[in-house]
Chains A and B, each alone.
Chain A
Amino acid sequence: MEIRIDRRTPLERMRVIPFQQVVDAVTNCCFEAAFRLPPDVLRAIREAAERESTAVGREFLRQYLENARIAETENMAICQDTGFAVYFVEMGENLRIDGGSIYEAISAGTARGYQEGFLRKSIVSDPLFARRNTTDNTPPIVHLTLVPGDRLTVILAPKGGGSENMSALRMLKPSQGRAGVVEFVTETVVKAGGNPCPPTIVGVGIGGTFEKAAFLAKKALLRPLGEPHPDAEYAALEREILERINASGVGPQGLGGDVTSLAVHIEHYPCHIASLPVAVNLNCHAARHAGFEL
């Protein structure tokens, strides 16, 4: 039997991809996300239109579908708020980008995508004082995770201001438990009314620390619609919160109806003995995302 020893140095083992290849892929991703609503979201809106009992609610849902069709066929943005470009990136430990960092590549691709796609530039330089538009929708937000292997996986989830502004985080007492979570999430969504463009997708992060819970809430929005949590207890909790929200009558656009949210998605993480952090991140019905692997 022949024994093969890999005599390459760790550096030689690295897979190298050119900077421009990443920039191009990110640029296309910006177009894809802005113009094409993912099939799971379209299906969920179609199903919601069948469930909705109010005429006004059904009319809004019909308009969302027509809007998605126009956006896709005419390469027009689904929503004028083409969002903060939020990226979830998994980068293999044995991958190197030749010519710049992953952050620079994503930033350059975002700038080009928003420029060439005629997408709205919605980022201001200083949050409090100058609030001057950066004019190219940068900087993006990049959540980077290092993973084994030599691949690069990128998901772009552009995030509009209307739904993001209705997010909330509360550090519950562990004694508040399941009931406390149900109450806080439901209250957050109902209080948001028509502002986040319902029917929304409700991302919930439970556990971890203050910032971990917020990250999980956003990450939870990426799960395909119609896919319940793999754990039975959490899946039941998702169903219960969704029923409570939809019993509120907020409805499409907040003008009354049965469908206030399309889904509740929970992500959880171990947490401190003293804590029960719960974060809620809402996504509007125009739940855009796109991705690629290199």
Chain B
Amino acid sequence: MSETAISLTTPISEATARKLRAGDRVLLSGVIWTGRDAAHKRLVAALDAGEPLPVPLRDQVIYFVGPCPAPPGRVIGSAGPTTSGRMDAYSPRLLWEAGLRGMIGKGERGPEVTAAMRECGGIYFAATGGAGALIARSIVKAEVVAYEDLGPEAIYRLEVKELPLVVAIDAQGGNLYERK
């Protein structure tokens, strides 16, 4: 893990994404979008139907999270990452067809996802699983923008300030989950 963190702001260009390496520490700022399985299923269904996506994903970052409701006076409740593997069935489509640049979650990704990341210049960040109260401090604004009926699985637009992440899998195939 590198000593100093790289500051990044969304949207992220392909050129920037391709420069990141597995093990880089990143402080991410800007707008990101939340999405779990149920939202991903609908996004891919929209692609299948040739319908526009409810949120623009080109050069954007999706955070795999279903946050707790915001307590009074707070922007959001606890908001740590969920297991990314459940999104493996959908992520390649978003990388290929919607121009998605980055994903934030926890745990390994399948070979189809890492292959699509290499082709499209995608990047996969790990956030600290089980540290949702700490992570919530980096979220300065949150609003539901799509699929509200899904409750915690709705798509939120989040504004984050210096969200601490680690590049877990890069666009060159570098992968922290592959143990030597």
Residues of A within 8 A of B (CB): 55-56, 59-60, 63-64, 66-67, 70-71, 74-82, 118-122, 131, 133, 135, 161-162, 165, 193-195, 197, 248-250, 253-256, 284-286
Query: Smallest distance from the beta carbon of A125 to chain B beta carbons, Å?
Result: 12
- The reply on B65 being an interface residue by CB < 8 A is yes
B108 at interface, CB cutoff 8 A: yes
Is A253 touching B106 in the complex (CB atoms < 8 A)?
yes
- B66 close to A250 (CB less than 8 A): no
Chain B positions near chain A (C-beta within 8 angstroms): 1, 23, 38, 65-71, 74, 77-80, 82-83, 85, 106-108, 126, 128-134, 136-137, 150-153, 166, 168, 176-177, 179
Roughly how many angstroms separate A131 CA and B87 CA in the complex, as a whole number? Answer: 17
Contact, CB under 8 Å: A118 / B71: yes
Cβ contact within 8 Å between B77 and A253:
no
Beta-carbon nearest neighbor of A77 in chain B: B78
A254 touches B78 (CB 8 A): no
Chain B neighbourhood of A82, CB < 8 A: 68, 78
Q: A70–B130 Cα gap in the complex (Å)?
A: 12
Contact flag A284-B129 (CB < 8 Å), given A81-B82, A195-B85 = yes
Q: Which of A70, A121, A131, A197 contacts B133 (CB 8 A)?
A: A70
Docked pose: A137 CA to B43 CA in angstroms: 26
Q: What chain A residues lie within 8 Å of B77 (beta carbons)? A: 76-77, 80, 118-120
Known: A162-B83, A255-B166. A118 touches B108 (CB 8 A): no
Known interface pairs A66-B134, A71-B133. Does A118 touch B128 (Cβ–Cβ under 8 Å)? Answer: no
List chain A residues, Cβ under 8 A from B68. 76-77, 80, 82, 118-120
Nearest-Cβ distance from residue B67 to partner chain A, whole angstroms: 5
A-B contact pairs, 17 of them (CB 8 A): A63-B131, A63-B134, A67-B133, A71-B133, A77-B68, A77-B77, A78-B78, A79-B132, A80-B66, A80-B77, A120-B68, A120-B152, A122-B66, A133-B150, A253-B126, A256-B176, A284-B129
Inside 8 A of A131's CB, which chain B residues have their CB? 38
Shortest Cβ-Cβ A-B pairs, 4 listed = A77-B78, A67-B131, A195-B107, A76-B133
Complex: chain A residue closest to B152, CB-CB: A120
Answer whether A197 and B106 are a contact pair too, CB < 8 Å, given A121-B152, A133-B150: yes
Q: A76-B78, A79-B78, A80-B67 are in contact. Are A194 and B107 (CB under 8 A)?
A: yes
In this complex, what residue of B is CB-closest to A250?
B179
The answer to whether B151 touches A193 (Cβ under 8 A) is no
Q: Which residue of A74, A119, A248, A285 is within 8 Å of B130 (Cβ)?
A: A285
Q: What chain A residues lie within 8 Å of B85 (beta carbons)?
A: 195
- Complex Cα distance A194/B127, Å? 11
Known contacts A70-B133, A194-B126, A197-B129; is A255 also within 8 Å of B176 by CB? yes
Distance of A63 Cα from B165 Cα, bound (Å):
12
State the CA gap A118–B65 with chains docked (Å).
16
Contact assessment for B130 and A79 in the assembled complex, using a CB-CB cutoff below 8 Å = yes
CA–CA, A119 and B126, complex, Å: 23
Chain B residues near A286 (CB-CB < 8 A): 130
In contact, B134 and A255 (Cβ under 8 angstroms): no
Bound together, the chains give a CA A146 to CA B104 distance in angstroms of 46
Q: Is the pair A78, B130 in contact by a Cβ cutoff of 8 Å?
A: yes
Interfacial chain B residues near A195, Cβ < 8 Å: 83, 85, 106-108
Query: If A67-B130, A118-B77 touch, does A76 touch B136 (CB 8 Å cutoff)?
Result: yes
A80 in contact with B80 (CB, 8 Å): yes
Give Cα A121–Cα B152 distance, bound, in whole angstroms.
Answer: 7
For A77, what are the chain B residues with a Cβ–Cβ distance below 8 Å? 68, 77-78, 132-133
| Closest Cβ–Cβ distance, residue B16 to chain A (whole Å) | 22
Q: Is B78's CB under 8 angstroms from A122's CB?
A: no
The CA of A122 and the CA of B131, in the complex, are separated in Å by 18
Q: Are A80 and B107 in contact (CB under 8 A)?
A: no
Q: A200 to nearest B CB, angstroms?
A: 10
A194, B153: Cα distance in complex, Å = 22
Q: Is the CB of A194 within 8 A of B106?
A: yes
Look across to chain B and name the residue whose beta carbon is closest to the beta carbon of A120.
Answer: B68
Which residues on the B side are within 8 Å of A253 (C-beta)? Answer: 106, 126, 128-129
